[in-house]
């Protein structure tokens, strides 16, 4: 559920968005993964809220500043909360890398 929400939410960016590992040839793309899932709230010993902690990684050979802003806007608009972010550079592949961490609360039905 959470993976499809991320993919669908970021679709308007018109760049590849994939879970964990990208194997294509695009010079700008996004990977993501869930680094923690935890019960957040309970009623009568039943989990009613699940917290999803997600890392979204933007990879690019060019300036990605505008794209990062749009990723944050799109995810926040559907209920994600930004935790933090970091700028990195991958020497081995000569690619810029922005790591963004988000938190999302899912209500159990």
**Looking at the DSSP assignment, which residues form a beta bridge with residue 108?**
none
**Domain 2-107 CATH class label:** alpha beta
**pLDDT (0 to 100) of residue 21:** 95
User: DSSP code of 32?
Assistant: E
Burial of 87: CB neighbours in 10 Å, binned 0-12, 13-18, 19+ = exposed
**pLDDT (0 to 100) of residue 85:** 97
Instruction: Name the token pair of 47.
Output: 């989990």
**Looking at the DSSP assignment, which residues form a beta bridge with residue 33?**
55
**pLDDT (0 to 100) of residue 40:** 85
Mind listing the pLDDT tens digit for each residue in 10-36? Answer: 999 999 999 999 999 999 999 999 999
* Alpha-helix runs per DSSP H in the chain: 2-10, 65-77
Helix (H) or strand (E) holding 40: strand 28-43
At 63, the pLDDT band (50, 70, 90 cuts) reads very high
Answer whether residue 52 shows pLDDT above 90: yes
Distance of alpha carbon 79 from alpha carbon 76, whole angstroms: 5
At 101, the pLDDT band (50, 70, 90 cuts) reads very high
| Structural domain boundaries in the chain | 2-107
Average the pLDDT over 69-82 and give the result: 98
Instruction: Name the token pair of 78.
Output: 């559907």
């Amino acid at each position: 559920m959470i993976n499809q929400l991320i993919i669908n939410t970021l679709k308007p960016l018109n760049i590849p968005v994939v879970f964990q590992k990208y194997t294509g040839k695009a010079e700008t793309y996004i990977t993501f993964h869930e680094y923690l899932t935890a019960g957040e709230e309970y009623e009568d010993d039943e989990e009613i809220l699940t917290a999803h902690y997600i890392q979204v990684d933007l990879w690019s050979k060019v300036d990605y500043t505008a794209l990062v802003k749009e990723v944050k806007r799109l995810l926040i608009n559907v209920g994600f909360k930004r935790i933090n972010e970091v700028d990195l550079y991958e020497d081995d592949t000569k690619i810029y890398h922005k790591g963004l961490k988000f938190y999302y609360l899912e209500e159990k039905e």
